[in-house]
Amino acid sequence: MSPTGNSVSTSPCSDRCSDPRGAGTHTTAPKLGDTDPGPDHPAWSWADLHRNRTVYEDGRVLVLDKPEGISVTGERHGTDVVRLAADVGVKLRPVHRIDKVTSGLVVLALEPGAHSDLTRQFTRRQVHKEYLGVLVGSDMPDRGEIDLPLVTASSGRVRIAAPRDAITWDGGARRFGVPVGAVDTSRRVFDSTTTFEVRVRDEDRDLVLVALGPRTGRRHQIRVHTAWVGHPVAGDPLFRTTSRPEVFGRTMLHAHRLGITLPWVGPEAVTFEAPPPAGFELGT
């Protein structure tokens, strides 16, 4: 499966994944079946993930469509993607992470040089990331940005570095923000910006399907940003009083599109796509 055509969609991987030819390859998303245990399966294996969730692979990088319910790495209460691979002798070097409860695209380097090249792009904010999220509240503005600084509380929980009632919506600038004077600087503050655009508005269910673009890559950024402006990700356990977890079987956030340069392939950015799982359709 070639990255050279600028856009690669999820498919069950085969020998094509290591072939850099065939520019412009587009494939359909895999259907979960007997060979793919799905997010509710009690035990993913590396064979399952690699066979059914590989979007692209060459000798230097692996792009996975990670299912919801398994961590990329660092899981303290079970296994994770990196550990599953290590158990069968495969060394993965995570270039970035997405939350355990989030599904979608994850980039994993297969050798140190690629890891350095790719992490540098994330550090310099040269990677284009787009998530799809089902959010609660059909009155969300059509588009704009959420520019709210984050802090980590003493409990370890990520929160906005200002009182909730200091957050305002500027319709002219199309921006959620807080006055500088409202920011709590007693802890280290991290600038954080997320763009958003409503794709589907379902007023009957009071939900919206939104494309979300984190310009910064802070932990839990999208989940905290959307919740604090009154539109939590549906089903999110971090905000269970407002996210309707009893209605949704998962956190409705999916890493849908990612654009990154693979220097060993060429100078142009490659865009990978993983269509969202069932349940993200609104208004149908």
Whether 28 and 116 map to the same domain: the answer is yes
Using one digit for the tens of pLDDT, what is the confidence trace for 151-194?
A: 998 888 899 999 999 999 999 999 999 999 999 999 999 999 99
pLDDT category at 284 given cuts 50, 70, 90 is: low
- Whether the pLDDT of residue 4 is over 60: the answer is no
Instruction: Tell me, yes or no, whether 159 and 224 share the same domain.
Output: yes
In a domain, 147, yes or no: yes
* Pair 61, 159 in one domain: no
- Whether 145 and 110 map to the same domain: the answer is no
pLDDT, the chain, mean: 87
**Res 43 pLDDT > 80:** no
Same domain, 149 and 232: yes
pTM here? 0.86
Task: Classify each residue of 204-227 as buried b or exposed e, where b means 16 or more C-beta atoms within 10 Å of its C-beta.
Answer: eeebbbbbbbbbeebebbbbbbbb
Decide if 1 is inside a domain: no
Q: What pLDDT, on a 0 to 100 scale, did the predictor assign at position 7?
A: 56
CATH of the domain at 48: 3.30.70.580
For the chain, how many structural domains are there in total?
2
- pLDDT tens by residue, 186-222: 999 999 999 999 999 999 999 999 999 999 989 899 9
Query: Which CATH number does the domain housing residue 156 bear?
Result: 3.30.2350.10
Q: Does 145 lie in the same domain as 120?
A: no
pLDDT for 17 beyond 70 = no
Whether residue 236 contacts residue 250, with contact meaning beta carbons closer than 8 Å, is answered with: no
**Which ranges of 135-267 would DSSP assign to H, the alpha helix?**
221-228
Tell me which of 4 and 57 has the higher pLDDT: 57
Q: Are residues 16 and 104 in the same domain?
A: yes
Q: What is the distance between the alpha carbons of residues 281 and 264, in angstroms, rounded to a whole number?
A: 37
Nearest to 131 by CA among 221, 273, 254, 251: 254
Residue 231 placed within a domain: yes
- Domain boundaries, position 164: 133-239
Quick one: 76 and 18 in the same domain?
A: yes
Let me know if 65 is a catalytic residue. Answer: no
The pLDDT tens digits for 236-247 are 999 988 999 889
The three-class DSSP label of residue 129 is strand
Residues 12 and 72 in one domain: yes
Give yes or no for a contact between 273 and 9, defined as CB atoms under 8 angstroms apart: yes
Catalytic residue among 99, 117, 147, 236: 99
